[in-house]
């Protein structure tokens, strides 16, 4: 139980990077970008093929970000210069990427088990510190020997890395370029009248968004030990689920808070899935259905709650008037 | 400063919906001119602004700013020359951004955007100073989201954002029309104050004849895509609302005659 939640948090942190990408396109740019299903795998594929060919895994992961960035800019160009509807631009790119991803990997599936990747490297460096052993003896001493995770390195490094991305993103969204990007999703009439080229910002924003998605894909591939050409199906819904869950819990008061909300949303989503899979009659294949149900609930529940509050307020009002 | 040479614009040419929106308009706007434009709905006033701003491109004719031909320059590039305020108070600001962030975007109208923070402490001081001139207390709400402001406050902010970077041309399209009378009076007063202080070259579309008479040194009346009446200088200063109404009814009867003739012909 504890170990499955522990690994959900690890995976959730990696998916949080993808969710931040989805937040950029859906919320900041107000652009429902479906490229994500493809660009997630592009990240995994580029990272995996480079690692298989003995590239430094950190460099491979950085290049995965670049590949996703390019994919996103192409979606942006289709939409802005090709004047293709936003949803359709994303879908076209997603389909195109399926073939491109197959070409990159040269196989539907690529195993990384025999190769050095980010997490094996981290484990190596971590092994000498003795922190895991210290933590294990600590947990045993307080009588929690069942709850000892295999290693703390992934969760600690991922927390630092995700927070670093969050801080950079928060900063970026407050720069002159970042403010213009936010205005594009908010009021493009206004930003145009203040010399902002909305086409440029859309292309750049979609690049950044899909770069983050691909980065997440590369990390997940290394964590799982393989890249799969079908690994991106439904990714956009998972990203949305994270954004919506986070926003529902933490609100949308300011950027700093929302980016944190999205990260926590991604982790909560993973934990919910892990818990749901422990339910007797649910199987791994039901995962997509569970995801859809979570998103629907996260979308509908706030409305239901608001309605109930409103009904209660009216009832009290009537009671006061009658009394 | 601004020159329109033989501007012609037709919408939906060759279809039953064909509409001549601008019918060969020539206009020379001098430095520090303040022109008011009136005219019935559909006269082509907003279309004229859109052509000046580069949102629409004329079928025939040229737009010149400071003797430079900008006819084909896209809207976002032409924005370097002009500040605009729209009729809809929601149109000129970004609602999920704060007041200071909106001002920062406006500040960058004349500067290439970089990866530096949009709101630095020196800029915040400048924004505060400028907001104080509005007298609405917005300088104490720098971090409030603009979406929370009232229509009048948003329009006052839009006006400030359009003007504090001293645009070469200021375009105001019925920017008080969507406000209640007291708020409209406030925005009119602020407009007058800012245009005078900054010596801005201004064109203002209005449906309020009193406003058109009171403000500015030139007045144009438009109908069916043409300028049908114009007054400047002393004639403009002496102009009253009844005079304008008189002109208006003259043109209306002309128009009726014209369409009767068209029907008969
Ligand atoms: N984008 C457009 N497509 C087709 N017709 C338009 C468009 N914009 C304006 N028009 C038409 O052009 C005419 C002039 O419109 P407009 O310039 O908005 O008038 P005004 O601002 O003087 O009320 C109107 O008949 C209007 O219906
Ligand atoms: Mg109009």
Q: What digits encode the pLDDT tens for the residues A217-272?
A: 999 999 999 999 999 998 999 999 999 989 888 888 889 999 999 999 999 999 98
Look at residue B96 in the predicted model and tell me its pLDDT: 94
Q: How confident is the model at residue A284 (pLDDT cuts 50, 70, 90)?
A: confident
The percent of residues in chain A predicted with pLDDT above 70, rounded, is 99
Token representation of residue B34: 């303040």
Give chain A's radius of gyration (CA, Å): 22
User: What burial class does residue A308 get, using C-beta atoms within 10 Å of its C-beta: 0-12 exposed, 13-18 middle, 19+ buried?
Assistant: exposed
Hey, is the C-beta of A191 within 8 angstroms of any chain B C-beta? yes
What SS3 state is found at B205? strand
* Helix axis angle, A118-127 to A57-80, nearest 10°: 150
Residues with Cβ within 8 Å of A249's Cβ and at least 6 positions away in sequence, in order, are: A261, A264, A265, A268
No. of helices (H) and no. of strands (E), chain B: 9, 10
Which of A111-115, A298-302, B23-27 shows the lowest per-residue confidence on average (mean pLDDT)?
Answer: A298-302
Q: How confident is the model at residue A292 (pLDDT cuts 50, 70, 90)?
A: confident
Look at residue A2 in the predicted model and tell me its pLDDT: 76
Q: Which ligand has the minimum distance to the alpha carbon of residue B40?
A: 1
Q: How many CB pairs under 8 A join A and B?
A: 89
The CA distance from B84 to B67, in Å, is 21
The percent of residues in chain A predicted with pLDDT above 90, rounded, is 64
The CA distance from B85 to A193, in Å, is 9
Count CA atoms within 13 Å of residue B116 on its CB side.
12
What's the whole-number average pLDDT of chain B? Answer: 90
Residues with Cβ within 8 Å of A221's Cβ and at least 6 positions away in sequence, in order, are: A43, A44, A47, A48, A112, A227, A231
Q: What digits encode the pLDDT tens for the residues A159-168?
A: 999 999 999 9
Look at residue B259 in the predicted model and tell me its pLDDT: 42
Domains of chain B by residue range: 2-96+150-254
Look at residue A60 in the predicted model and tell me its pLDDT: 96
Look at residue A78 and tell me whether its pLDDT is greater than 60: yes
Q: How far is CA B4 from CA A25, A297, B22, in A?
A: 40, 57, 11
Look at residue B151 in the predicted model and tell me its pLDDT: 93
Token representation of residue B186: 């406030």
Kind and range of the H or E element at A52? helix A36-52
* Subunit contact B105:A196, Cβ cutoff 8 A: yes
Which residue pairs from A250-257 have beta carbons closer than 8 angstroms and sit at least 24 positions apart in sequence?
A: A255/A170, A255/A173, A255/A174, A256/A170
* Subunit contact A175:B75, Cβ cutoff 8 A: no
Q: What digits encode the pLDDT tens for the residues A18-71?
A: 999 999 999 999 999 999 999 999 999 999 999 999 999 999 999 999 999 999
Look at residue B254 in the predicted model and tell me its pLDDT: 57
Residue indicated by tokens 């839009």: B158
For the domain covering A2-286, report its CATH number. Answer: 1.10.3470
Maximum alpha-carbon separation in chain A: 80
Look at residue B255 in the predicted model and tell me its pLDDT: 52
Look at residue B257 in the predicted model and tell me its pLDDT: 45
- Segments of chain B scoring below 70 in pLDDT: 251-265
The CA distance from B162 to B164, in Å, is 6
Look at residue B253 in the predicted model and tell me its pLDDT: 61
Look at residue B116 in the predicted model and tell me its pLDDT: 95
CA of B226 to the centre of ligand 2 (A): 14
Domains of chain A by residue range: 2-286
User: What burial class does residue A216 get, using C-beta atoms within 10 Å of its C-beta: 0-12 exposed, 13-18 middle, 19+ buried?
Assistant: buried
Superfamily of domain B2-96+150-254: P-loop containing nucleotide triphosphate hydrolases (3.40.50.300)
Instruction: Report CA A157 to chain centroid distance, whole Å.
Output: 17
CB atoms within 10 A of CB A126: 18
| Chain B residues with CB within 8 Å of chain A CB | 53, 55, 74-77, 79-80, 83-84, 86, 90-97, 101, 104-106, 108-110, 113-119, 161-162
Closest listed residue to residue B51, CA positions, set B90, B21, B18, B80: B21
In A182-300, the DSSP E strands lie at 226-228
């Amino acid at each position: 139980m504890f170990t499955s939640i522990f690994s959900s948090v690890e995976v959730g942190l990696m998916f949080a990077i993808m969710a931040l990408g989805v937040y950029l396109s859906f919320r900041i740019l107000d652009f429902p970008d479906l490229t994500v299903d493809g660009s997630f795998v592009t990240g995994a594929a580029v990272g995996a093929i480079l690692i298989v060919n003995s590239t430094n895994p950190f460099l491979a992961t950085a290049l995965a970000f670049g590949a996703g960035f390019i994919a996103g800019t192409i979606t942006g160009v289709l939409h802005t210069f090709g004047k293709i509807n936003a949803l359709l631009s994303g879908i076209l790119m997603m389909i195109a990427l399926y073939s491109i991803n197959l070409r990159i990997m040269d196989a539907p599936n690529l195993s990384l088990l025999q190769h050095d990747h980010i997490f094996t490297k981290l484990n190596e460096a971590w092994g000498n510190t003795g922190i895991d052993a210290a933590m294990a003896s600590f947990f045993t001493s307080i009588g929690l020997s069942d709850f000892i995770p295999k290693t703390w390195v992934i969760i600690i490094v991922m927390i630092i890395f995700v927070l670093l991305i969050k801080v950079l993103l928060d900063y970026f969204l407050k720069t002159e370029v970042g403010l213009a990007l936010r205005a594009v999703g908010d009021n493009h009439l206004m930003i145009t009248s203040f010399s902002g080229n909305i086409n440029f910002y859309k292309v750049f924003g979609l690049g950044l968004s899909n770069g983050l998605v691909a980065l997440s894909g590369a990390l997940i591939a290394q964590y799982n030990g393989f890249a799969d050409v079908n690994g991106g199906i439904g990714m956009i819904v998972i990203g949305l689920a994270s954004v919506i869950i986070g926003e529902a819990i933490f609100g949308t008061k300011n950027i700093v808070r929302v980016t944190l909300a999205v990260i926590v949303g991604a982790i909560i989503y993973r934990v919910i899935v892990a818990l749901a899979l422990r339910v007797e009659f649910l199987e791994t294949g039901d995962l997509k259905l569970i995801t859809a149900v979570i998103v629907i609930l996260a979308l509908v529940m706030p409305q239901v709650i608001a309605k109930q509050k409103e009904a209660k307020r009216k009832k009290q009002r009537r009671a006061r008037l009658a009394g | 400063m601004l020159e329109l040479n033989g501007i012609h614009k037709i919408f939906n040419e060759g279809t039953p919906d064909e509409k001549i929106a601008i019918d060969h308009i020539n206009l020379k706007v001098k430095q520090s001119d303040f022109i008011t434009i009136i005219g019935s709905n559909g006269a082509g006033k907003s279309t004229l602004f859109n052509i000046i701003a580069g949102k629409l491109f004329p079928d025939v004719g040229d737009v010149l700013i400071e003797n430079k031909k900008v006819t084909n320059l896209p809207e976002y590039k032409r924005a370097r020359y002009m500040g605009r305020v729209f009729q809809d108070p929601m149109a000129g600001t970004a609602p999920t951004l704060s007041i200071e962030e909106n001002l920062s975007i406006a500040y960058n109208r004349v500067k290439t955007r970089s990866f530096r923070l949009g709101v630095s402490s020196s800029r915040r001081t400048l924004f505060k100073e400028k907001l104080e001139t509005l007298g609405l207390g917005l300088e104490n709400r720098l971090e409030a989201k603009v979406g929370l402001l009232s229509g009048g406050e948003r329009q006052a902010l839009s006006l400030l954002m359009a003007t504090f970077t001293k645009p070469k041309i200021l375009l105001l399209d019925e920017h008080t029309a969507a406000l209640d009378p007291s708020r409209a009076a406030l925005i009119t007063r602020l407009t007058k104050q800012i245009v005078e202080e900054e010596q801005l070259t201004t064109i203002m579309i209005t449906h309020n004849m009193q406003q058109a008479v009171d403000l500015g040194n030139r007045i144009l009346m438009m109908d069916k895509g043409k300028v049908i009446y114009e007054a400047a200088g002393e004639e403009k200063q002496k102009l009253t609302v009844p005079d304008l109404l008189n002109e208006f009814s003259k043109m209306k009867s002309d128009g009726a005659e014209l369409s009767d003739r068209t029907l008969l012909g």
